[in-house]
Amino acid sequence: MILVHGLWTPAAIFAVHSHWLKQAGYRTLRFAYPSVRATLSENATRLRSLIAATSAPEIHLVGHSLGGLIILEMLAHDPDPRLRRAVLLGTPCRDSHCARRLASVVGMSALLGRSIMEWLSRGPLAAAAPQSPQVGVLAGTRSVGLGRVVPGLPRPNDGVVALAETRLAGAADLVALPVAHSEMLASRACGVQVASFLASGRFLHAQQA
């Protein structure tokens, strides 16, 4: 199990989910990468190298926000056959209203970083789920965060990413929970949903609020 953090955060941000996944019987690795200095392609190559160096017979992936985009980028180019399932938490698969609005402000592109700017340069709707591994999308609908100061973010949203932006063509399943973008990293409900998808390829829709 490899956990991939998002923009401006360290790998340690996944400590809580790592603990829960270990309790569920998974061995976890937290992938650390330069979310601002390196491009999306470079970080996807780093992730691919980590996977190649891993001896596990089966590998799952979990990515938050930008981490999910790095997973999708890596999966688009000859993914390792040992990969089984991936969960994307609050990942703007289709586009990002917040990122585009911020990128239009003088000086903000450097703060957003080279990974985000490479992804934005490709235009919306560039991502699609691969046939293998199975990809599940977990979205939030509690509007607390950056989106409150960025005008025009569609609702519902998690405060950073709109629900509509998380939809991924070809995804095996999608679930929306009443959590904000950063709350996903410490939400027990999200942890339960991640474990469900990794075990079965489906989320627990009966528990969806």
pTM for the structure as a whole = 0.95
Band of residue 208 on the pLDDT scale cut at 50, 70, 90 = low
66-92: average pLDDT: 96
204 pLDDT higher than 60: yes
Judge contact between 71 and 11, C-beta under 8 A: no
Residue 43 has which token pair? Answer: 């970080």
73-96: average pLDDT: 95
Query: What pLDDT, in 10s, does the model give residues 127-147?
Result: 778 878 999 999 999 998 776
Q: Mean pLDDT over all residues of the chain?
A: 94
Give the model's pLDDT for residue 192. Answer: 97
Pairing of strands 59-64, 29-31: unpaired
Which CATH number among 3.40.50.300, 3.40.640.10, 3.40.50.1820, 3.40.50.150 corresponds to the domain 2-207? 3.40.50.1820
102-123: average pLDDT: 94
125 pLDDT higher than 70: no
111 pLDDT higher than 60: yes
89-96: average pLDDT: 96
207 pLDDT higher than 70: no
- The residues spanned by each domain of the chain are 2-207
| The amino acid at 163 | L
Q: Say how far apart CA 45 and CA 197 lie, in whole Å.
A: 25
Half-sphere exposure of 23 (CA within 13 A, CB side): 11
152 pLDDT higher than 70: yes
